[in-house]
Amino acid sequence: MADGAVDFEYLETFAAGDMQVVTDVLSLFQGQAELWQARLDAPGDGWRDLAHTIKGSARGIGATALGEVADRAERSDASMAPELRSALADALAEIEGYLTRIGGG
């Protein structure tokens, strides 16, 4: 497992080394994250569904730390929104850096 917020090697392996797939998946994640961030600013109804969605998406791209926070948030309440938002921001910052390094950002 990677030391950072996202294990890009996991995603690259999952995508069988197809960097276009990796780039597309990460771009989709970034787009969804914009919507999640807005909902995390004012969490309310659907909190557990939001946390569950983030958890699944995070785990799918190798963002293990974010997935773990989302898992705890799903079992808790909206008071975890700031922690979840912070973990999401960490993952997004790493994704942006990674995409820039590989020429996909």
pLDDT digits 0-9 by tens, 64-84: 999 999 999 999 989 999 999
- For residue 94, being part of any structural domain is answered with yes
- For residue 2, being part of any structural domain is answered with no
Residue 21 maps to which CATH number? 1.20.120.160
- For residue 1, being part of any structural domain is answered with no
pTM to 2 decimal places: 0.91
User: How far is Cα 25 from Cα 7, in angstroms, rounded to an integer?
Assistant: 14
User: How far is Cα 50 from Cα 37, in angstroms, rounded to an integer?
Assistant: 10
DSSP track, 50-61: HHHHHHHHHHHH
Domain that holds residue 23: 8-102
Total number of domains constituting the chain: 1
- For residue 38, being part of any structural domain is answered with yes
pLDDT in tens, 2-47: 468 899 999 999 999 899 999 999 999 999 999 999 999 888 888 9
- For residue 3, being part of any structural domain is answered with no
pLDDT at site 1? 42
